[in-house]
Amino acid sequence: MYRAFNENTAVLFIDLINDFHFDRGDKLIIHTENILPHIMQLKRFAKHHALPIIYINDHFGLWQAGPRQLMDYCRNDRSNEVIKTVQPDEKDYFLIKPHHSAFYQTPLKSLLQDLEITQLILAGVAGDICILFTAQDAYISGYTLHIPENCIASNEKRGNDYALYLMRSVMKAKTDPFPFPGMS
């Protein structure tokens, strides 16, 4: 079996609640729609194995927003289907972040310590920005990383591929597509 996932593993979904109304957001939404089936397969896997699911999302200036308020704010013609598909469940954790890394000025590290997490599976957008910065901080903090290449998207394929290269070569992340080889 691919590196065993156990009670010390958590799934981080990064910036999946998004309005996609920014420069090159039209490209990112297309790439995000392409990874949605894999994201949902990963979410079902996590639920089935009782792995904590933690959504960490940009706050869009809504510092007091919970998941519902943020989803309502981000819904539009471009984002509605993505948000409807990936929305957090009641038992999922939800944190907002002020900048690129899910660790920067958030309670994520404290939550992971409380849950006794040592392995992270990262998924979401954008692979060459927020996933990359989160992976760097996770690596520096000593977490084992799994970043399935078919569960992250960026504005440009070239940027996504380069981020995966860095996460694999520098941060020692496993980037095999989900489901991972040897998983049953």
Query: Structurally, how many domains does the chain consist of?
Result: 1
In the DSSP assignment, the letter for residue 21 is -
- Residue 2 domain flag: no
CATH number for 100: 3.40.50.850
- Residue 175 domain flag: no
Sign of the dihedral defined by the CA atoms of residues 133, 138, 142, 148, in that order:
negative
User: Is residue 177 scored above 50 in pLDDT?
Assistant: yes
Within 8 A by CB and 6+ apart from 122, the residues are 12, 14, 131, 134, 135, 138, 145, 146, 147, 151, 152, 173
Domain that holds residue 49: 9-169
Nearest-CA neighbor of 143 among 22, 6, 44, 8? 8
Question: How many other C-beta atoms can be found within 10 angstroms of the C-beta atom of residue 103?
Answer: 22
The pLDDT, as a whole number, for residue 3 is 55
Q: Name the residue type at position 125.
A: V
Q: Which pLDDT tens digit goes with each residue over 104-117?
A: 999 999 999 999 99
- Residue 33 domain flag: yes
Nearest-CA neighbor of 183 among 47, 36, 42? 42
Mean pLDDT (whole number) for 158-170: 97
Over the chain, what is the mean pLDDT?
93
Q: Name the residue type at position 34.
A: N
Tokens of 48: 């089935």
- Residue 75 domain flag: yes
The pLDDT, as a whole number, for residue 61 is 83
Q: Which pLDDT tens digit goes with each residue over 26-74?
A: 899 999 999 999 999 999 999 999 999 999 999 888 887 789 999 999 9
Global confidence as pTM:
0.94
- Residue 135 domain flag: yes
Q: Which pLDDT tens digit goes with each residue over 90-105?
A: 999 999 999 999 999 9
Sign of the dihedral defined by the CA atoms of residues 16, 47, 38, 120, in that order:
positive
Nearest-CA neighbor of 68 among 106, 105, 124, 17? 17
